[in-house]
Amino acid sequence: MNSDDDALLEDLLAGKYRALARVISKIEDRSTGYRELVSELYAHTGGADVIGITGSPGAGKSTLVDKLAETYRERGETVGIVAIDPSSPFTGGAVLGDRIRMASTVGDMDVFVRSMSARGTLGGLSTATADAVKAMDAFGKDKIIIETVGAGQNEIDVVRTADTVAVLVPPGSGDEIQTLKAGILEIADVFVVNKADRDGADRTVQELREMISLDDGGQGHGSDPSGHHGPGTGVGHGTDTDSSTAVDDGTVEEWTPPIVETIATTGDGIDALVDELSAHRTYLVESGERATKARNRYAEEIRTLLREDVHAILEDELERAGGTDELADAVRRGETDPYTIADELLDPVERCLEELDVEGSGEP
């Protein structure tokens, strides 16, 4: 790294917010030297809890994130928030960049909010987001919350960056419950029925409970086929399942997503949600899943970087071969075909790799 980036990294590790903001801007803009900067961050990461908050638009994600941050601060923990917003069709920037809905923590320097544009990335959770999380982690944030757009593939993408994923479901969304069965169940560590004071909340809780029970064959801990609220919890502000994981023989029982009812506007149920998020972290550590998730996440990062770098190399090779338009015209004229072109473009790359393999094996 150059001396400026060295100084920037040093300031970030020293807890200077201006440096954190500059590093994230450098990451998001993919400025010269950002890769070397991110590489240096890895040695200082691993201390933060990374929480993904996702769900359909209108489920109250931003208000819930605001209350979560406020609760963590009351408990003496520092918070970083990465809000993934839809890209502006004009500037490519975050449409909701001012985050005016997050009002409770405005002025609290220990809550750092950064909006990032989806930039057209499938699902909205770009590689830059994962790197921004690393910057906040290296900075020393205790909790890092990622709030997604809540549409498309991002509900799946968020898993690759977050340790714990909370899926928000608004009350009375029977059709949405059916949609959840198609994929969200696999990524949800905690279900949150927000706006639980509205009509339909009880029914939504019941539908979620039945869906979870069907998924684990009704055998998972925390399943309550009777349809009643768990002991000690009230409608609108409690947990609906017991998500404890310890069993008598000392092993860790498989996690079953609890259902938490909240009213984010008033803060009802937020403490219960924080407790469930904490319980999931304990489960991850005790079961060894945290290490597994980290390994899978890093493996995916390696694959993503390789795809990006190989793609860039092949784009250069395409330009040297005359560009895609000229090659496409050759296909149109019947002079060649896409498969032959791909083989010809990849041939020098494959030969180079074969030569490296031979050199590495020590063969003459």
- Which residue, among 223, 189, 197, has the nearest Cα to 209 in the 3D structure? 223
Give the separation between CA 287 and CA 94, rounded to whole angstroms.
38
Q: CA 20: distance to chain centroid? A: 19
pTM above 0.85, yes or no: no
| Domain count for the chain | 2
Q: 226 and 333 in one domain?
A: no
Instruction: Give whole-number Cα distances, 292 to 26, 42, 287, 299, 303, in Å.
Output: 30, 17, 10, 11, 17
CB neighbour list of residue 231: distance below 8 Å, 6 or more residues apart? none
pLDDT of residue 152: 58
In sequence order, which ranges of 30-173 are alpha helices (DSSP H)?
A: 34-41, 61-74, 127-139, 154-157
Domain that holds residue 124: 46-287
Buried residues in 35-72 as b, exposed as e (16+ CB within 10 A): eebbebbeebbeebbbbbbbbbeebbbbbbbbbbbbbb
CB environment 93-125: b (16+ within 10 A), e (fewer): ebbbeebeebeebeeeebbbbbbbbbbebebbb
Higher-pLDDT residue of 73 and 214 is 73
Nearest one of 116, 112, 123 to 94, comparing CA atoms: 116
- CA angle 26/305/92 to nearest 5° reads 45
- Is the same domain home to 254 and 327? no
Is the domain of 339 the same as that of 226? no
Q: What local confidence, expressed as pLDDT, does residue 272 receive? A: 97
The C-alpha atoms of residue 170 and residue 56 are separated, in whole angstroms, by 8
Kindly report, residue by residue over 158-168, the tens digit of the pLDDT.
777 899 999 98
Same domain? 305 vs 197: no
Mean pLDDT of the chain: 80
Q: Is residue 205, in this structure, part of any structural domain at all? A: yes
- At 5, is the pLDDT very low, low, confident or very high (cuts 50, 70, 90)? very high
Does residue 107 lie within any of the structural domains?
Answer: yes
**Residue range 220-275, pLDDT digits in tens:** 433 333 333 332 333 444 555 555 555 555 677 889 999 999 999 999 999 999 99
Task: Provide the β-strand partners of residue 82.
Answer: 114, 146
The pLDDT-based confidence of 307 (bands split at 50, 70, 90) is confident
* Conformational region of residue 43, where left means phi above 0, alpha means psi within -120 to 50, and beta covers everything else: alpha
Same structural domain, 304 and 253: no
Do 217 and 323 fall into the same domain? no
Q: Are residues 227 and 324 in the same domain?
A: no
Residues 220 and 282 in one domain: yes
**58 domain residue, yes or no:** yes
| Residue 281 shares a structural domain with residue 357 | no
- Say how many C-beta atoms besides its own lie within 10 A of residue 259's C-beta: 27
Q: Is 277 within the bounds of a domain?
A: yes
Residue 25 within any structural domain of the chain? no
Do both 255 and 322 map to the same domain? no
Residues 206 and 352 in one domain: no
End residue of a domain, out of 263, 287, 311: 287
Q: Assign residue 240 the CATH number of its domain.
A: 3.40.50.300
Cα separations in angstroms, 41 against 37, 269, 280, 281: 7, 35, 26, 23
The last residue of a domain, from among 260, 287, 314: 287
- 188 and 262 co-located in one domain: yes
pLDDT tens digits, one per residue of 62-96: 899 999 999 999 999 999 999 887 654 344 444 44
